[in-house]
């Protein structure tokens, strides 16, 4: 009996790793592009510029780090980078950062994501953790309280989830519910990202649309995100029924806190997600 082994990600033809990563890159850029537009047009030019600076910085650090690694390994740096896709890790990483992070945090986090989360395990396809997730965890643990001081009105991190946490997570007073939702533009505002938050996590409807496109194109397997989102909605619905809070509560959990971003872009990672349908 002959066994064939291939390094992940494992996809059958006609898909290719290059095509998958190319379309994945486009999808992330669409999501990031919305938020950059939002900051430029609805918050302030300085916010939009800082968002762009964060994105460019993360990509430059990731690509430069892998090129340096290739030189150390005596490999062609251009060829190495084109087959390792460091910009995907960089874009995913910066998507999970709030606009209030200074650039040096982006530099350190992107470097850690590439070196610790990816290269030390052998590079693309050999990592056992999602590299962007590694960078995100490192930044949260090391620089969680730091904010960028370049804005005239510093963003303090009053996201929908932090405000909900301050309210105790469970409340059913109609006036309190309306007051809470109105400050973020209602459920529609939460779903469309009409608030300041992580660069790539706020517009849940756009992320969902990208996820549907990915599923149709075969870029991701729809089972994992659907199982995750349905479970999230079901568990939140049980809590809502128990405390008589209404349908707004499970919907809130689907459209905030990076849930949709995690479902579409993180748990579908072909390297670190289960390879079997049952596992997904």
- Alpha-carbon span 237 to 93, nearest angstrom: 30
230 contacts 269 by C-beta, under 8 angstroms: no
- Residue 8, token pair as written in the block: 């992940």
- Alpha-carbon span 242 to 233, nearest angstrom: 14
Residue environment code for 97-126, b if the CB has 16+ CB neighbours within 10 A, otherwise e: bbbbbebebbebbbbbbbbbbbbeeebbbe
Secondary structure class of 100 (helix, strand, coil): coil
- Residue-wise pLDDT tens digits, 218-231: 888 888 899 899 99
Long-range interactions of 153-157: CB distance < 8 A, separation 24+ = 154/100, 155/98, 155/99, 155/100, 155/196, 156/100, 157/98, 157/100
255 contacts 191 by C-beta, under 8 angstroms: yes
266 contacts 3 by C-beta, under 8 angstroms: no
- Residue-wise pLDDT tens digits, 128-146: 888 998 999 999 898 876 6
- Chain position carrying tokens 């150390």: 72
Residues 6+ apart with CB under 8 A from 119: 65, 66, 69
- Residue 260, token pair as written in the block: 């949709």
| CB count in 10 Å sphere of residue 231 | 10
How confident is the prediction along the chain (280 residues), in pLDDT tens digits per residue?
444 545 555 545 455 778 888 889 999 999 999 999 999 998 888 889 999 999 999 999 999 999 999 898 888 989 888 888 889 999 999 999 988 888 999 999 999 999 998 888 887 777 788 899 899 999 989 887 666 655 555 555 567 777 777 777 877 777 777 877 787 778 888 888 888 888 988 899 999 999 999 998 888 888 889 989 999 999 989 988 888 888 888 888 888 878 899 899 888 877 767 677 777 6
């Amino acid at each position: 009996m002959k066994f064939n082994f291939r390094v992940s990600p494992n996809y059958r033809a006609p898909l290719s790793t290059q095509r998958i990563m190319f379309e994945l890159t486009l999808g992330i850029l669409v999501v990031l592009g919305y938020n950059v537009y939002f900051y430029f047009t609805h918050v302030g030019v300085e916010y939009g510029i800082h968002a762009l600076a964060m994105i460019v910085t993360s990509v430059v650090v990731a690509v430069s780090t892998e090129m340096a690694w290739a030189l150390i390994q005596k490999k062609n740096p251009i060829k190495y980078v084109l087959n390792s896709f460091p910009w995907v890790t960089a874009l995913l990483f910066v998507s999970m950062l709030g606009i209030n992070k200074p650039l040096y945090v982006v530099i350190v986090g992107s470097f850690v994501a590439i070196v610790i989360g990816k290269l030390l395990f052998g590079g693309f396809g050999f990592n056992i953790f999602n590299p962007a997730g590694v960078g995100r965890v490192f930044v949260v643990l090391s620089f969680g309280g730091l904010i960028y001081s370049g804005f005239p009105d510093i963003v303090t991190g009053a996201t929908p989830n932090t405000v909900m946490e301050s309210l105790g997570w469970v409340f059913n007073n109609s006036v309190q519910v309306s007051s809470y939702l109105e400050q973020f533009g209602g459920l529609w505002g939460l779903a469309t990202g009409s608030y300041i938050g992580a660069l790539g996590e706020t517009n849940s409807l756009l992320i969902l649309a990208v996820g549907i496109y990915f599923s149709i194109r075969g870029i991701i397997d729809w089972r994992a995100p659907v199982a995750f989102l349905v479970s999230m909605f079901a568990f939140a619905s049980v809590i809502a029924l128990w405390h008589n809070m209404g349908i707004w509560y499970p919907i809130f959990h689907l459209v905030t806190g990076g849930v949709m971003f995690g479902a579409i872009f993180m748990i579908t990672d072909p390297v670190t997600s289960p390879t079997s349908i049952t596992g997904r």
